[in-house]
Structures are given as structure tokens and as C-alpha cells.
Structure 1
Amino acid sequence: MLIPLRPGELQRLIPAVATGNQFRVSVGKPQEVLQRLMIAAIGGVITLLISQSQMSSRWGPFWLVAGVVFLLYVLWGPIVQAGQRNATLRRYPAAAIFEGEVADVITRERVENRHEQADSRGRLELVENRRTWMLLELEDEEGYLGRVAFPMDKKHQPIRRGSLIRCLVLSERKDFSKIDAFSDAWLPGLRLWVGEYPFLLRPAFEELCQLRLNNRR
């Protein structure tokens, strides 16, 4: 079942500015954090040194502000990244609440990164870091709709075929004849949220589902 959102509801469910959950996800892996720290430190030190040498000129305050901005990159970098990711769904002209069931549960191994490291004999070997992902096939009374994929955790083990699931579906077409994207998803029977990234303001989505779905029954 698809229930189209009313004007403005999509923007209320997916904020333009990063939430706390979105910020935490966008911070990323330790390697990404280290990269941001290096950019912040190098960029901040260089621009602050330039500002010291330019304090007597009109460009001194500009370089000082630029140095502070660089030093705060560790904080504003994930915020900007989350905002850009939110915008990928906020831009769609058509969005609807989907209520259906899990048609199938699939697990797959994905290679997250590769790197070379020396073995006990000093020879370089390729090492792959793998992670198990869960893919949920979604369907309703009209048939197959698509899939939601996310890194698997222990809390996801209770998910079974037939589990009730709700999410947002997004499309370039008002009639939803082609589904272009999915948000994170809510399994109310398990009280469990799943998804690679927390697009939705989750309490607001749960409340909207309760209101709109109850009115349809």
C-alpha cells in the first residue's frame, strides 16, 4: 500500500540540517576521522600562520576566519555531508508511505576495503575487509516493490519473511510507476529500524504512519 505524502510532509520527515543520528553516521570510520583531522590541522595551521603575517593588512581577518573554519572541519564536515545526503531524497517530487511485508531476507558478503600488508615472510599480500549485509525484498498486495540493504547486526536476526515493514518510497513520477529510492525502514512488530543511513526523523514518521494508516482502515 502506498499513501502519497501531502505538500511539506517530506521536508518535515527528512530535515535539511543533520540530526544527531545523521551526524554520528556521517562521522564515518576511524580512517575518515583521521583524514578530516589531518585536513583540519594542516589547513588550520597554514591559514593561521598566513593570518599572523597579514594582520597589518585588510586580508588578515579573512585568513584568521579561514583558519578557524579549517580547524572546525572535523565538526562541520559530517554536517555538510549529512545535509547533502538528505538532499538526495528531499529533491524528489513524489513521496509516499509504503506499508507492506518482507518478501525475502538475503544476506551477502561485501568487500568494504582492500589494502596490502606484509606477511610473515615480508611479501605483500592483498587483504580484504568484508562485512555481511542484509537485503530485504519488499512487496505489498500489488507485488514486488524493491529492496532495502544495510550492514547486518545481531539485532537484525529476528527479521523474517512476512514481517510488517514501513518506509518512504520516492519517485520522479507522480503515479509511482517507477520507484527511484527508499528511506530507512521501520518494522513495527519488532520495534526495529533498519537502513544504511537514518534519513527519517523516526518518531515523526512513526506518528505520521499511525495517523495516516489508521485513517485508511
Structure 2
Amino acid sequence: MLIPLRPGELQKLIPAVATGNQFRFAMGNPQQILQRLMVAAIGGVIALLISQSQMASRWGPVWLVIGVVFLLYVLWGPIVQAGQRNATLRRYPTAALFEGEVADVQTRERVENSHEQADSRGQLELVENRRTWMLLELEDEDGYLGRISFPMDKKHQSIRRGTLVRCLVLSERKDFSRIGALSDAWLPGLRMWVGDYPFLLRPAFEELCQLRLARR
């Protein structure tokens, strides 16, 4: 079942500026955080040193500002990244609330990253870090809708075929004959959110579901 959103509702559910959940997600893993810290520290120190050497010139204040911007990269980097991710769904002209069920559940191994390291004989070998992802096929009374995939945790083992699911459906067409994207999904029966990125303002989405679906 698809229930078209009213004008302005999509922007309320997917904000332009990163939320706390989105900021934490965009921060990434410890390795990514360390990389940002290194970029911020190296870039900031170099820019500040240059600004100190050119304080007498008109470029001194400019380099000072650049240094401060670099030092704050750890904070504004994830905010910009999350905002760009949100924009990929906010750009769609048509959105609808979807209520259906899980048609199929699958798991797959995906390579998260890889690197070379020397083995006991001194020879280089490729080491791959893999992670299990869960794939949910969604459908309603009109048939197949699409797929949501996300890194699998132990709590996801309770997801079964027939589980009630709600999410947003985005499309370039008003009749939704072609689906452009799906948001993260809410499984009300399990009180669980799933998805590879927290697009939605979750309390607002749950409230919208109660208001719009209660009338059906």
C-alpha cells in the first residue's frame, strides 16, 4: 500500500542538516575517525604555521581562517557528508508512505575493505575483511516493491517472511511506475529499524504512520 505524502512532509522526515544519528553514522569506524583527525591536525598545523609567518601581509588572516577550518574538519566533515546523503532522497519530487511485508530474507557476504600483508614466509597476500549483510525483499498487495540491504546484527535474526514493514518510497513519477529509492525501514511488530543509513527522523515517521494508517 502506497500513501502519497503531502507537500512539505518529505522535508520534515528527511532533514537537510544532519541529525545526531546521521552525524554518528557519518563519523564512520575508528579508522575513518583517525583519518579525519590526521587530516585536521596536519592541515590545521601547516595552515597556522603559514599564517604566523605571514601575519604582516594581507594573506595572514586568510591562512588563519584556513587553519581553523582544517582543525574543525572532524566536526564539519561528517555534517557535510550526511547532508549530501540526505539530499539524494530529498531531491525526488514524489514520495509515499509504504506499508507491506517482507517477501524474502537473504544474507550475503560483502568485502568491507582489503589490504596486503606479509605472511610467515614474507610473501604478500591479500587480506579481505568481510561482513554479512541482510537483504529484505519487500512487497504489498500490488506485488514486488524493492530491496533493502544493511549490515546484519544478531537482533536481525528475528526478521522473517511476512514481517510487517513500513518505509518511504521515492520516485520521479507521480504514479510510482518506477521506484527511484527506498528509505530505511520500520518494522513495528519487532520495534526495529533497519537500513544502511538513517535517512528518516524516526519519531516523526512513526507518528506519521499512526496518523495516516489509522485512517485506512
TM band (smaller chain): over 0.9
Aligned partners of 1:106 and 1:135: how far apart in 2? 5
Q: CA deviation at 1:120?
A: 1.2
Q: CA deviation at 1:30?
A: 2.1
Determine the structure 2 residue equivalent to 1:86.
Answer: 86
Determine the structure 1 residue equivalent to 2:38.
Answer: 38
* Corresponding pairs, count: 216
Q: CA deviation at 1:59?
A: 2.1
Aligned partners of 2:4 and 2:29: how far apart in 1? 36
Determine the structure 1 residue equivalent to 2:74.
Answer: 74
Aligned partners of 1:93 and 1:150: how far apart in 2? 26
Aligned amino acid, residue 55 of structure 2: M
Q: CA deviation at 1:100?
A: 0.1
2:194 counterpart of 1:189: no
Aligned partners of 1:123 and 1:54: how far apart in 2? 50
Determine the structure 1 residue equivalent to 2:211.
Answer: 211
Structure 1: where are the runs of 5+ without partners? none
Query: TM-score, normalization: structure 2?
Result: 0.98
Determine what percentage of the aligned residue pairs are the same residue: 86
Q: How does 1:65-144 map to 2 (within 5 A)?
A: 65-144=65-144
Consecutive aligned runs of 4 or more in structure 1 exceeding 2 Å deviation = none
SS at match of 1:133: strand
CA distances 1:45-73 after superposition (whole Å, capped 9, x unpaired): 11101111121222222211110110110
Aligned amino acid, residue 85 of structure 2: R
Determine the structure 2 residue equivalent to 1:159.
Answer: 159
Aligned amino acid, residue 14 of structure 1: I
Aligned partners of 1:108 and 1:176: how far apart in 2? 29
RMSD of equivalent CA atoms: 0.8
Aligned partners of 1:59 and 1:125: how far apart in 2? 49
Aligned amino acid, residue 101 of structure 1: E
Query: TM-score, normalization: structure 1?
Result: 0.98
Aligned partners of 1:115 and 1:57: how far apart in 2? 46
Aligned partners of 2:180 and 2:149: how far apart in 1? 14
